[in-house]
Amino acid sequence: MLEAAMLLAALAWDLTLGEPPAFAHPVVWVGRLIDVLERAPVKGAPAQLVYGGVAVTVGLLLVVGPATVLLAYLRAEAPALYLLAGTYLLKSTFSLRGLFRAAWAVRRCLLASDLPGARWELRALVSRDTSGLDEPLLAAAAVESVAENSSDALVAPLLYFTLFGVPGALAYRVLNTFDSMIGYRGRYEYLGKVAARLDDLANLLPARLTALLLVLASAWRGAGAAPAWQGALHYAGATESPNAGWPMSAMAGALGVTLEKVGHYRLGDGPARPDAASIERALALAAVALLTACLISLILVVLRDVYVA
């Protein structure tokens, strides 16, 4: 039952204490490693493509390899230390409290009609330019982030932890961090292409599971499953990402709003424009969906431990 205890402890840590300090945060260490790797003076698209693949491989080996060896040793020789180390590493792969606090801060500013404050707080959730966004677009961006990051920030790490233990969750977070840092077009078009494609592959199942969880959450909260389900089916392909559209479209349908990133996509056909109340409702739906994900993961981990034992 060590893995079940580890999962409960990591979730409790996240919800009560939040993130470890930057100097002790494994994901910050991964970011610094990526920063070093990307500085190599590699010229030309083919060379950058190959080097980008090598960099991802090196990152995975340097992070997941030692963690796997350490955890295997501690599990056999010092179970209490195994529980502590595994909890610490697992917690570093997800950030539920941070997501909810950031979205709530945007809601609070919108309720106070503080658009500059909302634009500033939104920077913690999205990478887009927020300077010209009005209230509905600010609310839409926050709702989209809650939906998409429900997958990235918790469902995906939980899935890979359930399947492969802490090393699986770490591998996902390494890939996701590579994609967030160099998986962009423009300067990183070829250097980050392997990272971006691997991240797309890693999120293929979690994004769809998150959409399904939001559909179930919508039904459980009395809004009915049909709008969320239809939203996911009709609009999931509207985004450039093969994955992000699934949870965002399910959320748009569940809330009965249209989520828009001007010039990029328009999700849903709800008559209402998003506002501060939409963010609150999105957080409530996400909370139910993510609690369900945690319970399912816990049950599966317990069953695996019992079966293996």
Q: Is the pLDDT of residue 253 over 90?
A: yes
Total-model pTM: 0.93
Side chain identity, residue 258: T
Task: Provide the 8-state DSSP code for 21.
Answer: P
CA-to-CA distance for 94 and 81, rounded, in angstroms? 21
Task: Quote the domain boundaries for residue 264.
Answer: 2-308
pLDDT in tens, 158-202: 999 999 999 999 999 999 999 888 766 666 678 888 988 999 999
Predicted local distance difference test score (pLDDT) of residue 47: 85
Average pLDDT over residues 85-91: 97
pLDDT above 70: percentage of residues in the chain: 97
pLDDT confidence tier of residue 138, bands split at 50, 70 and 90: very high
Q: Is 92 helix (H, G, I), strand (E, B) or coil?
A: coil
Long-range contacts of the stretch 24-28 (C-beta < 8 A, 24+): 25/92, 26/63, 26/89, 26/92, 26/170, 26/173, 27/92, 27/93, 27/173, 27/177
Q: Is 297 helix (H, G, I), strand (E, B) or coil?
A: helix
Average pLDDT over residues 218-222: 86
Q: How many domains does the chain have?
A: 1
Predicted local distance difference test score (pLDDT) of residue 205: 97
